[in-house]
Structure formats: structure tokens, C-alpha cells
Amino acid sequence: MAEQLIKEIGGAENIEALENCMTRVRITVIESAKVHIENIKKMENVLGVIFESDYLQVIVGPGKAQTVTTQMKEILEIDTRDEAMIRKENANRANNVWYKLILKRIASIFVPIIPAFIACGLIVTIYESTYVYYPGFKETSFGVIMGTVAYSIFSILPIIVGFNTAKEFGGTPVLGAIIGFILSSGGLAGAEIFSVTIVPGRGGVISVLIIVYVATLLEKNLRKRIPNSLDLFLTPFLTISVMTVVGLAVFQPLGGIISESIGSMVSFIIYQVPYLAGIASLIYLPLVVSGMHHGLIAVNTQLVQDFGVTYLLPVTAMAGAGQVGASIGVYIKTKSKRLKRTIKNGLPVGMLGIGEPLLWGVTIPLGKPFLASCLGGAIGGSAMAMMGVAAKVPELGGIPLGFITTGFPLYFVGLLIAYTSGFFLCILLGFEDPID
């Protein structure tokens, strides 16, 4: 598949940058005219294609995206260390919108961590469920080991986020990791700096993002001014020293205010006006279309770090469920064999939380089913909030998410509500059936 994809893109000479997220192979091309979009759409295992200007996204599903990208890099002999530089150069292009660039960078920081969250989240579920039926489990040797593994991701999260943030913004990754560790170090509890009492971990990943980003700016400026003979010693020393003081005294309290505000807002909606939570699910698919949904990964990560769970993720996950229901409605009503085939291929992955094939292949092109998806998701999202279902991971969706929630049976009730709402709204609104 990798070789054929390179061929349809216009050959190796037409590829400027190559990367992947959980479900998509993301390619920046040099000449858009050389890309054979229709041929790519017909390729086996391709679930959908998004092509904007010189930015091509080929949806192949979870796991497959990483495999295909790795194979393409091997064929092209791309050095992955050069990709941050390529992304930086591409960021200066006029056709890129600043907020999309920010959200793409946030995604690049958090998406690589998602597999660890899923693995640890599943282990947490097994660990806590075992404790319910066997109260002495946590004191056993196996229980201690399992508990350590289950919550390991949360122990090192600031370090990983610091590393990825520095790498993404062109700094030295290990310096970012050290700053992440400093900000969460329990040894600083109660200490004061410029009359500011240090609270380890305050602001969570938001503080880490802010401080490490500023640290990369400082590091790059220092490298421009410090002689090469002293750069190896002075630049890391000054970066760590200055950002420890400024970070703990200024930026960590700022991150704490932002983090606490997000937590208070989500808590207010869930506990006081849960029916309004459906708005998040209502606008989620439009956010996916614009690429702005990546920003929610950081929000959900912060909520999980602060409270151990996020109420927001199960709500927004219902947008995908509403789309599954609407797509089933289209499947029943349409006479188009091509459309039926697209839905048949997209439904299984849609139920697993990967909505792009149905989004770009069914609901967006037909229009009204997209509206039905949004409304169905809003109904399901409101129900989910009213039932108080929370997720233990910051990113997942569909049926798999149900196994990592605090309300296992209730999640599937909400899922069923979103499915049926999307289905009946699609039937009610109708759509213009395409001709093969």
C-alpha cells in the first residue's frame, strides 16, 4: 500500500513532509496537480481522503496509519528528525491559519501519548473493579504492582508533555522533560519563591505547555547570542535556571488559574445545567471538520490529571454515535450501491470511535444527515451528562470508551440514545439520494 500511495501522490519527489496521527497518514505535497485523488480513494484499506491546498490526509484507521507511514518513510528514506524543521517551515506559509497551526501542534504533543492512556486506563478499570469484589486486593503484591502500572502514566505525564512540547517547538526535548519534572516535584511542596508558595503539579499539563514553550523561545534566543565554544554549557544551564525561577513564580500560578477555571466550568455544567452539555456534542463534528477538535485533547488531559476523570469526553463522543445512527438511516433509505458500500465499510470503525470515513464519505456530502448527526449527538451528550458518566482517559470514543468509564452500563444507554436519535432525525429530515 505504501508504494502505491507514493505513486498516486506523484512520486517521492512530490512529497515535502510526512507524518501520521492515530487514523490518518498526513502528507504535505509540493505540487497538488500531481496527486491522483480518485485513484487514492479507490485503494484498498483507504477509508477516506481529505485534500486541502497542498495538505493531503489519507484515512486508513488506527494502527494502519502508523504502519503505512513507517513503510513510506523507509521507502523514501526520510529522517524523522528533520520533520520538526519541515513543519516549522510550512508554518510560515500564507495559506495556513494561525489557530489551526496551534491546534495541530497541540495534537502533535498529545496524540503520541494516547496509546499509553488507553493501556493504563484499561488496567485502572480492571484494578478498581477487582478491588470492589476483593477489598484486600490493593495490599497484595500483585495488587501493588498492578496499581503502579495502572497509574504510571499520570506520574510521568508532565515529563512526557515537557519532552514532546520542547521537541515540537524546536527546543531540546530533554530540557523540556526536566522542566516538566521540576514543576511536579513533590520536594518543592510548601517552598516559597518571591513570596509565592509552590504547589507541585499546579496547572498540570497546561502549566507545562506554557513554561516549556517559553523555555524553547529562551533557548533558541540564547543559542543565537552565546558563542559556540560556550553554547554547550551555558545554554542548557541558563534555560533551566531562568525557567525554573520564572516558571514557578509566574507561569505555574497562571497555568493553575486557567486549569482551575476549566475544571470549574465543566463541573458547573455537569452538576448544575447538564442539559447544556449537549452543546459540546452538537458542535463537535463541525470542530472535527475544521480541525479544531485537537484542542480538546489538552483540556481532557488536564481534567483527567486534576480529577482522575473527564466528564467532557463521553459527551463529545456522542457526536460520533449520532453520526453512526444517521448513517444507518442513510443506508436504509438510499438506493445508491456506492453509498451503501461506503457506509458498510465505515460503520464498524465508526462504532469504534473513528468517524472520519462516515463524516467525509456520507454525512458531509449529503448535508442533512450531517445535521441529524449533530442533533443526535447533542441529545446523546445531554443524556450522558445527566447520567454523570465520566471517562478515565482523555481520548477515545465509540464502544471502546464504555469500558474505561465510571458508569459502564450508563455509557451504553447514552450511546444507544445517540444512535437512535441520529437515526430517526435522519429519517425525519431526509436527504437527496445520489445517483451512481
CA–CA gap between residue 374 and residue 281 (Å, rounded)? 7
120 - beta bridge partners?
Answer: none
CA distances from 57 to 35, 51, 54, 60, 366 (A): 12, 6, 10, 9, 21
DSSP letter at 310? B
Contact 168, 105 (CB under 8 A): yes
CA–CA gap between residue 391 and residue 404 (Å, rounded)? 6
CA 395 to chain centre: 6
Q: What residue type is assigned to position 95 of the chain?
A: N
Contact 165, 109 (CB under 8 A): yes
Catalytic, 21? Answer yes
Contact 359, 365 (CB under 8 A): no
CA–CA gap between residue 349 and residue 255 (Å, rounded)? 36
Contact 337, 414 (CB under 8 A): no
Pinpoint the alpha helices (H) of 226-311.
228-246, 252-272, 278-282, 284-290, 295-307
Which of the following is catalytic: 21, 120, 374, 426? 21
Q: Which residues are catalytic?
A: 21
